[in-house]
Amino acid sequence: MSTQTIARQFRDQREGEWQRLEGILRIAERKSVRALSDEDLLALPILYRGALSSLSLARETSLDLELITYLEGLCARAYFFVYGVRTTAGSKLIAFFRTDWPDAVRSLWRETLVSALLMILGAAAAYLLIVNDPTWYDSLVPEELAQGRNFEASIADLRNQLYDAPESGSGLSFFATFLFTHNAQVSLMCFALGFAFGVPTAMLVVQNGSILGAMMALYAEKGLAFELGGWLSIHGTTELFAIILAGAAGFRIGWAVVFPGEESRLAAATRAGRSSAITMIGVVIMLSCAGLLEGYGRQLITGDWTRYAIGGTLLLLWLAYLYIPRRRADG
């Protein structure tokens, strides 16, 4: 008996089941599994196993490649509905905010503490350094961030920059975009450079802390420390927290590279990077919020205590949202 005859008989005996399976899959793909009848739902796994058996026989008997390719595609489509979990984009988005992002952040609690400590140490060191020698200020604070805020500025000028809003809405938008871009770049670099044993990440976190400490030293010397705290608070609690989390994500990768365990360093870093990437998506969201507060809220809200209240409330909300465990939807 020729191979073509065997292939024809093989197809004739089983083609009806394949066609029925394909019809069920077509309905499920165009609509949803819920659109299937009870009879089709019960038949789906049986037909899937039958198609797998046909595929195995077709491969063993070296039937024509076209038939094998067809059966491989049919089995792959059926597997998705038998064993896969179909979720909509909306469901994935809800799951991200409900559990994925908070779970990822909580898993980085050790790295987050290290990142926060390094930022605090950087701020304290810069503050003490500039209090004793103000000439260090220009070395620690980039001109594009200082925007005229230095020891040569008068108290009146520094105070005006804390309370006077730009003349046009476009100015606010431009400044918000600049701050978002700058902080997003720093955060992404903290994450991306974590593979270098976490050393560049630590340096970036310390650098951001030093900028904060340098600004505090400047305004404290001018008697405006309290006012600067409110000016920074309205957006800084969100922004600095986001950078700390980005640093924590980078440290997780660096830790995996240094201590890969039984895996190769590349595999360990890849695994750590995938889990930390969820945190980084959240970091971008936080920086977007901080950018809006930086460009609009901070300039339009000029009361010191109101600024502190907004900044403190936002920090408490972030901490509660990210660190208070919640029950999963399927639990």
Give residue 300's pLDDT: 78
Domain assignment present for 330: no
Are residues 124 and 78 part of one domain? no
Are residues 143 and 50 part of one domain? no
Are residues 95 and 72 part of one domain? no
Are residues 95 and 67 part of one domain? no
**Which pLDDT tens digit goes with each residue over 280-328?**
999 999 998 888 887 777 677 888 999 999 999 999 999 999 999 876 5
Are residues 144 and 23 part of one domain? no
Are residues 187 and 110 part of one domain? yes
Are residues 236 and 202 part of one domain? yes
**Which pLDDT tens digit goes with each residue over 136-153?**
998 898 887 777 788 988
Q: Is the pLDDT of residue 112 over 70?
A: yes
Domain assignment present for 102: yes
Domain assignment present for 268: yes
What's the whole-number mean pLDDT along residues 127-138?
A: 94
Contact between 95 and 231 under an 8 Å Cβ cutoff? The reply is no
CA neighbours within 13 Å on the CB side: how many for 116?
Answer: 11
Are residues 306 and 179 part of one domain? yes
User: Domain limits at 262?
Assistant: 91-323
Are residues 215 and 156 part of one domain? yes
Domain assignment present for 331: no
What's the whole-number mean pLDDT along residues 116-137?
A: 95
**Which pLDDT tens digit goes with each residue over 85-95?**
556 667 778 88
Are residues 150 and 64 part of one domain? no
C-beta contacts of 59-64 below 8 A and 24+ residues apart: 61/6, 61/10, 62/3, 63/3, 63/6, 63/7, 63/10, 64/3, 64/7
Most confident of 92-106, 121-135, 293-307: 121-135
Give residue 8's pLDDT: 75
Q: Report DSSP letters for 61-102, one per residue.
A: TT--HHHHHHHHHHHHHHHHHHT-----HHHHHHHIIIIIHH
Tally of domains in the chain: 2
More confident site: 57 or 181: 57
Amino acid identity at 293: L
Give residue 301's pLDDT: 84
What's the whole-number mean pLDDT along residues 169-196?
A: 71
Are residues 98 and 236 part of one domain? yes
pLDDT band for position 165 (cuts 50, 70, 90): low
Are residues 192 and 140 part of one domain? yes
What's the whole-number mean pLDDT along residues 183-204?
A: 89
